[in-house]
Amino acid sequence: MERMRYEIDGKIARISLDDGKANAMSVPFFTELGALLDRAATDGAGALLIAGRAGMFSGGLDLKLLPTLSSAGLRELSATFARTMLRVFSLPIPTVAALTGHAIAGGAVLAYACDRRYGLDGRFRLQLNEVAIGIPMPSWMAAIAATAIPSTAHVEALLHARAYAPGEALQRGILTGLVPEGGDVVQHATLQSADLLALPRDAYATTKQRLRAAEVERVTALLEGELAG
């Protein structure tokens, strides 16, 4: 089943998530996303935009799937989730998230892994809810989120699992921009990304690597131990 659509317009590649429901994440979801990241690289894209379907960016991991998994299956899903999000976080080209609706748990992580985030105003929620549902936040997830969320909001967003309406997220500097309710956030994010294409690609890639490589290495080294714990 295809959960995603890929297209490239000029130099901006776009991955549109749409499983008809919550854009739930699973190992096949991450495999498909990884293949499309490869495709963007092969196409020589100058930037990547990730969007959801109307009303839903992503609700995170597939909650119906989780109880059916063996311990080995759950470990595989958790490891694949981490490595895929860290890959998005480390992608050598500019990345932009167009939040077409709710971005919860893993959906919020995917948004935070991108370099810019544009939201759509409305009755939507942006939330890392791990602590609220009794899951200690993995180091890799906290590291990604900490680059997108200003330090003044770290406690409420990461430790207290605060749910943000789009306008609140903009006020706190978590979102780069906000489109009025009923607007086209994908088109807006695409237009607002044009300036990224003018940045020299090698300089962008090298600088991004220097900003993030040490932290990615640190949390990757912690991953196996945290999965076992």
Q: Using the structure block, give the residue that is written with the tokens 């999965």.
A: 227
Residues with Cβ < 8 Å from 221, sequence gap 6 or more?
A: none
- One-letter amino acid at 139 equals S
Enumerate domains of the chain plus CATH numbers. Answer: 4-228 (3.90.226.10)
CA–CA separation, 30 and 57 (whole Å): 15
Confidence of residue 1 (pLDDT cuts 50, 70, 90): low
How confident is the model over 38-50, as pLDDT tens digits?
A: 999 999 999 999 9
User: Taking residues 158-182, what's their average pLDDT?
Assistant: 98
Coil, strand, or helix at residue 118?
strand
Strand order in the sheet with 55-58: 55-58, 101-104, 126-127
User: Taking residues 136-150, what's their average pLDDT?
Assistant: 98
User: Taking residues 25-33, what's their average pLDDT?
Assistant: 97
